[in-house]
Structure 1
Amino acid sequence: MKAMLSHELGGPETLKLTELDTPAPDKKQVLVRVHAAGLNFPDTLIIQDLYQMKPPRPFAPGGEIAGEVLAVGADVREFAVGDRVLGLCAFGGFASHIAIDAAQLIKIPDEMPYDEAACLIFTYGTSHHALKNRAEIKEGEQLLILGASGGVGTAAIELGKAAGARVIAAVSSEEKAQFCREMGADETIIYSLDMDSREAQKAFTTQIRKLAGGDGVDVVYDAVGGPYAEPAVRALAWQGRYLVVGFPAGIPKIPLNLTLLKGSQIVGVFWGAHTLREPMLHAQNMADLLRLYANGAIKPRISARFKLKDAAAALELMMTRKVMGKVVVEIT
């Protein structure tokens, strides 16, 4: 088998295509021939030891995969050779084969391509958990999405619309705004790349309130953080919910008096921990997503594809924040 391995701490340039022995699954595992691996921002962090999980080296990044079952362990009953599956693996996905716990896999329908399956679980899982379980979003509410053109952002657009919300997508360029409109966003905001000044932050809050009307937005989905967070919190309506999804722009400091004045909530979204702590709820959410996919309400938008040997270039693209929708490593 082949894998793109992180042998040393560093950026994408440190990854090396390596030939390895194909693993044999243990009694609770399944051996999967990987056809596609979806890229996510944590893949850029884990190779730099900046992620919560720090696997021993050498390891392959890649947290979500789709492929075909080649072998099953002695205790595995729910999968058989030939099954088409997607899986959440945290790392190890940038490889031609992976031995993975059966509990981390989900069967996929024949009509779902492997590339789309490899882009479903992480971004849509995060956004569905955020909007459904953490924000309890309701039909007719207004949803502001920061970083709306990225993987979790585009998933939030589709899921927000599926829930009956009015979606405002906030992005950094007109190209990204057009992409979000194509994804179904009702309104778009192009925010400044320089948000450090109080004037820029006030202008951003004003933009949000103008588009939202009334008291402001009911839910903020923040996958950006940094100086963009406080202006979004200030634009919350009474009893609004601010979802902490990620902070590639930095960890924000939010004045807590704003939550008192608005009766609002700051709600953490740690989807990885949710899948482990609430497995039944996670299973229900994944069933929701497969139904939404079958109904045409959601469909991963793949903007770039790379071969396994070019996985480092894929990660470089992710690190520049130029990705719109999803990026896939296709493994042939």
Structure 2
Amino acid sequence: MKALVAPRLGGPDVLNVVDLPEPSAPAAGEIVVAVSHVGLNFHDTLVVSGQHVVRPEPPFSPGSEYSGVVVAVGPGVTSPSVGARVVGNEEYGCAREFVKVRADRVTVIPAGVSPRDAATVLVTYATAFHALVQRANIRPGETVAVLGAAGGVGSAAVDVADLLGARVLAGASTAERAKAATGRGAEDVFSYGTADAKQQIKTLTGGRGADVVFDPVGGALAEAAVRAVGWGGRYLVVGFASGDIPSVRLNLPLVKGAALVGVFFGEFVRRDRKMHEENLATIFSWSAEGKLRPYVHDFMPLTEGARAYETLASGAANGKIVLTVGA
């Protein structure tokens, strides 16, 4: 089988496509999936470079999100069955033609949703949904300021917040990237590349500040974003796409009666699979009804995996990048 492999830790340039043996027969509780699509996420680039909490020993395949068709099941597996269309999320190892995984770590793709669509929404939309519903306890009519709104998880947060009845303010590093959120559920957009994020959010909220700030960017932007939270608001720590983990003055949430809330999607899935599946049921129902608007930068073949990761790592991607494998 063909597989995208990192023979050592480093930048996207270390990645190359090689021939590997297909997986052995699945053991008890396992299945083998013929992969059709691999959804790329920013944290995958950190795994390749060795900057993520997950540090596999090279050589390994990157890619944490995939969709495809079950081609073999191990003893004791009653669901999914051979031929079922499934979507799944692992820590790494998915950018290849076949994966062998635990059967209880996949979700059957419902009717009305294609494997292609499933791979564009699984991680980003499920992360945004978990952040806004379980962590922020968002309520209809609240104002949500989304940073990094032109990226994969940021654009998903714009969609999800809008569908949950919030007023959405979408921010990005440039005015051009911010405009991408118009017509996608954002009531107003702003650029924080050359202007103060706090002041813009305050202006757009009539001085009150945002009820929720969704921040997958971190870095130098974080303190301004925390200052933009209104009384009783919630600042969601989603990630650090800027590359820098910020330090925040704790007097800021104190004087605002606000909360700094961590969003660790992978650990949430491990600890509460039932709630994760309930979240996915809502997300896939929205997808089947045509309510989701996944913002996809490009679909690229597995053979161009290194270029796809370079586009993602450089911040040049507007939205999601998906590798097509067996499609």
Question: Is the aligned partner of 1:20 residue 2:14?
Answer: no
CA contact (8 A) 1:149 1:179 kept: yes
**Match in the other structure for 2:198:** 205
Task: Map residues 136-155 of structure 1 onto 2, 5 A cutoff.
Answer: 136-155=137-156
1:307 is aligned to 2:321:
no
CA distance in 1, matches of 2:295, 2:108: 21
What letter is aligned with 1:223?
P
Structure 2: which 5+ runs fail to align?
none
Match of 1:105 in 2: 106
Q: Structure 2 matches for 1:116-265, cutoff 5 A?
A: 116-192=117-193, 203-249=196-242, 250-265=244-259
Letter in 2 for 1:124: Y
Give 3-state SS (helix, strand or coil) of 1:81's partner.
coil
1-structure distance, mates of 2:17, 2:305: 9
Partners of 2:38 and 2:323 within 8 A in 1: yes
Unmatched segments (≥5 aa) in structure 1: 194-199
Q: What's the counterpart of residue 8 of structure 1?
A: 8
Cα distance in 2, alignment partners of residues 178 and 214 from structure 1 = 23
Shift of 1:110: 4.0
Contact 1:64 1:119 in 2 (8 A): no
- Give, in angstroms, the shift of residue 214 of structure 1: 4.2
Q: Note if 1:41 corresponds to 2:42.
A: yes
Give me the whole-angstrom Cα distance separating, in 1, the residues matched to 2:294 and 2:105.
20
Q: 1:241 and 1:297 mapped to 2: Cα distance?
A: 26
User: Residues 184 and 293 of structure 2 are in contact (CA less than 8 Å); yes or no, is this contact kept in structure 1?
Assistant: no
What is residue 63 of structure 1 aligned with on the other side? Answer: 64
Cα distance in 2 for partners of 1:110, 1:58 equals: 37
Paired residues of 1:38 and 1:329 also in contact (CA < 8 A): yes
Selected match of 2:289 from 271, 292, 295: 295
Q: For the residues of structure 1 that align with 2:222 and 2:256, how far apart are their CA atoms?
A: 15
Q: What is the SS of the residue equivalent to 1:112?
A: coil
Moved over 3 A (4+): none
User: For 2:16 and 2:287, how far apart are their aligned partners in 1?
Assistant: 35
Q: Aligned partners of 2:77, 2:264: CA distance in 1, in Å? A: 29
- Using structure 2 for the length normalisation, give the TM-score: 0.96
Query: Does the 8 Å CA contact 1:127/1:155 hold for their aligned counterparts?
Result: yes
Distance in 1 between the 2:263 and 2:41 partners? 16
Equivalent position of 1:278 in the other structure? 272
> C-alpha displacement at 1:295, in angstroms?
2.5
* Count of residue pairs the alignment pairs up: 324
Query: Is 2:112–2:288's contact at 8 Å kept on the other side of the alignment?
Result: no
Normalised TM-score (structure 1) = 0.95
Amino acid at match of 1:173: T
Q: Report the Cα offset of residue 230 of structure 1.
A: 1.0
Residue identity matched to 2:309? L
Cα deviation digits, residues 232-261 of structure 1 (max 9, x gap): 111111100000001122111111111111
The CA deviation string for residues 13-53 of structure 1, in whole angstroms up to 9 with x for no partner, is 11121111111222111110000100001111111111111
**Amino acid across the alignment from 2:200:** Q
Contact 1:2 1:19 in 2 (8 A): yes
Identity rate of aligned residues, in percent?
Answer: 40
SS in 1 for 2:180: helix
SS at match of 2:31: strand
The Cα RMSD (Å) is 1.3
* AA of the residue aligned to 2:305: A
- Aligned to 1:324, the other structure's residue is in SS state coil
Tell which deviates more after alignment, 111-120 or 4-13. 111-120
Residue pair 1:84, 1:110 contacting (<8 A) in 2 also: no
What's the CA shift string for 1:184-242, capped at 9, x where partnerless? Answer: 2110001126xxxxxx6xx3311110001142110000011111111111111110000
